[in-house]
Amino acid sequence: MTAVQPFTLTDLGGTDHSVPTGSKTLLCFVKEDCPTCNLVAPLLEAAHQQGDADVLLVGQTSDGNELLAKNHDLTAPVLDDSTLIVSFAYDLETVPHAMLLDDSGEPVKEVIGFEKSEWQDLYSEHVGTVDINWDELPDWRPGCGSLTQDPIIAERLRAEAENSPLRARRIEIASHDDVHEFLFDQGFTDGLPVVPPTPERVIRMLSAITREPQDVVATIPPNLAPATVEKIAINALMAGCKPEYLPVVIASIEAMCTDEFNCHGVFATTMGATPIMILNGPVRHALDMNMRLSALGQGTRANAAIGRAVRLAVRNIGGAKPGGTERSTLGNPMKFTMCFPEWEERSPWEPLHVERGFEAEDSVVSIFAMSSGPAQVIDQTSRSAEALVGSFALSMRASQHVKAHRAGDTILVISPEHVDTIQRDGWSKADIRARIQEVSSVPMRELIADATSGVGFPPEAVKNMTEAELSRPIPKFASEDRIHIVVAGSEAGKFSAVFHGWASGSMGSIPVSRKIGM
């Protein structure tokens, strides 16, 4: 039998009623749009008028309570439980749900739905002499689902309960305030609207994982704030993520907040660097991510929302906001989001995550610090791998500056048509990297700062070099393994793309990969 939970609710006239009442009470939970609740409403009114028990109806909808009272000329108190807090506390599944309580408030009998014999026994044994024509009533009618069983409502109620898994600070918004404008005013957005993180939505987001909501995933600079699973879920929700995206967001933040990646430096630099996420493995298909047409652009929820979620977490948890510790001179559109999967099935080479030491069947996110891009490489005429990759190299020389050699990490995204050109000659990724280094190499003397450009090696630093040293070719990138190659994009179009890296190595940022717990 359902345990009695003490409560106080207000009736339609504004009078408070508390349970237990101190006397025998017939308590019944109802909702106006339930036919069976309407069937028993006259029975409850008859008990109120003629029986020897107090009668209280607990209605689940405020407008419906008034309609129920009007339709049945009820004088019995109809209490407003439109918040459903009491119904939730009583763990209701079905209405009508009637309970007879004794003088001390202990439950004596319980009737759910309408079984005529059960209601007759309830009245004859406990309610007293009541004039009801039982012959006019059906033998049985099923009840209706309590509103507390609605999945969305149940999530809200669970979040509001004392044992809620949520611990983040709650912000109350006035009923007439525009919630979206409020979120803008409070600085919780990146300049675009966000999804309001209501408790029920956060609960739904957390349902996608088994980790405890208060587990600390990482400490996010510059505030060195602990990023709990709950807080990450809130920002993922605000970014427009589905619950199934959350494991990817968590793994990305774990990778980003490592010493190797140095996210504090990435966000604080005036150069405008930002994290870029590349997904590999089964997760790409599980989340219906786009690796084909417009893979680096707009139009796909998973691509856009995952990258945005990480950036919002950095902003709202870590405190990295423009004008604060984030000091990018020009900003960068990739600071809104940049996340895409590799089209492994279209590639003749090992996918990125396998190159980085994972198994092919692993779902992995790799995170890079890039300062600009994607810059398109347009070559519609090369018909050999040698010529096409030479075009890549010439375009990649512009990364940061044509005189900025010995550069760090860069990402080359090769489109399918360009893949086909390279594949016809049987080139490997190692061949591509070697060709890029070869073609992008220039003599030291061409990298010296001069009147044309002050960028380059200072003249005084090379004044004692020999002619042979000045003629020595210097490749664009510090090493071949700094050139990261992936395949993505439409089947049509001879256009590839390059992301230009930020400072690399121990003085900058080192790419980090993490396996995703799906």
**pLDDT tens digit sequence for 67-103:** 999 999 999 999 999 999 999 999 999 999 999 999 9
Secondary structure of the chain: what % helix, strand, coil (to 5)? 35, 20, 45
Flag whether 203 is in a domain: yes
- In CATH, what number is assigned to the domain containing residue 74? 3.40.30.10
Q: Residue 29 corresponds to which tokens in the numbers above? A: 């939970």
- How far lies 222's CA from each of 84, 319, 407, in Å? 42, 6, 26
Asked whether residue 105 falls in the same domain as residue 223, the answer is: no
Q: What is the pLDDT of residues 337-381, one digit of tens each?
A: 999 999 999 999 999 999 999 999 999 999 999 999 999 999 999
Q: pLDDT tens digits, residue range 464-474? A: 999 999 999 99
Q: How confident is the model at residue 170 (pLDDT cuts 50, 70, 90)?
A: confident
160 lies in some domain: no
* 185 shares a domain with 131: no
My answer on whether 425 and 492 are in the same domain is: yes
- Looking at the structure, tell me whether residues 206 and 290 fall in a common domain: yes
Tens digits of residue pLDDT in 470-513: 999 999 999 999 999 999 999 999 999 999 999 988 889 999 99
> At residue 176, what are phi and psi to the nearest 5 degrees?
-100, 0
The residues, any chain, with a CB within 8 Å of residue 360's CB and separated by 6 or more, are 281, 351, 353, 354
User: For the chain, what is the radius of gyration of the CA atoms?
Assistant: 33
CA distance 280 to 284: 6
Expressed as residue numbers, the domain containing 143 is 7-149
Same-domain check for residues 64 and 192:
no
Half-sphere exposure of 220 (CA within 13 A, CB side): 28
| Cis amide prior to 374 (ω within 30 degrees) | yes
- Of the residues 134, 149, 164, which one is the last residue of a structural domain? 149
The pLDDT of 247-275, averaged and rounded, is 96
Q: Does 359 lie in the same domain as 227?
A: yes
Domain end residue (candidates: 149, 170, 202): 149
Given this model, what pLDDT does residue 162 score?
64
Overall average pLDDT of the 110-138 stretch = 93
Rounded Cα distance, 357 and 354, in Å = 5
Asked if residue 389 lies in contact with residue 514, where contact means CB atoms within 8 angstroms, the answer is no
Q: Which sign does the torsion angle of CA 413, 415, 421, 427 carry?
A: positive
**What pLDDT score does 176 carry?**
85
- Whether residues 106 and 239 share a domain: the answer is no
63 within a domain of the structure (yes/no): yes
CA atoms 340, 344, 346, 347: torsion sign:
positive
Average pLDDT, the chain: 94
**Residue 93 identity (one-letter amino acid):** E
Q: How many domains does the chain have?
A: 2
Q: What single letter denotes the amino acid at residue 271? A: M
Residue 268 and residue 196 share a domain: yes
Query: Is position 392 within any domain?
Result: yes
Tell me what pLDDT residue 167 has.
Answer: 79
470 within some domain: no
**Predicted pLDDT at 85:** 92
Same domain? 283 vs 367: yes
Q: Does a structural domain hold residue 463?
A: no
Per DSSP, 2 falls in state P
Residue 3 in this model has a pLDDT that exceeds 80: no
pLDDT, residue 20, reads 94
Indicate if 187 and 84 belong to the same structural domain: no
Q: Are residues 132 and 38 in the same domain?
A: yes
What pLDDT was estimated at residue 161? 73
- Tell me the Ramachandran region of residue 375: left when phi exceeds 0, alpha when psi lies from -120 to 50, beta otherwise: beta
- At residue 518, does pLDDT exceed 90? no
**Measured CA distances, 219 to 99, 189, 210, 465 (Å):** 51, 21, 20, 47
Give domain status of residue 460, yes or no: no
Same domain, 412 and 342: yes
pLDDT band at 36 (very low <50, low <70, confident <90, very high): very high
- Distance from C-alpha of 311 to C-alpha of 462, rounded to nearest angstrom: 42
- Residue 129: predicted pLDDT: 85
Tell me if 165 is assigned to some domain.
no
Q: Residue 461: is its pLDDT beyond 70?
A: yes
Cα–Cα distance between 156 and 149 in angstroms, integer?
Answer: 11
Q: Select from 128, 149, 170 the last residue of a domain.
A: 149
Quote the pLDDT of residue 239.
98
* Both structure tokens of 490: 């439409």
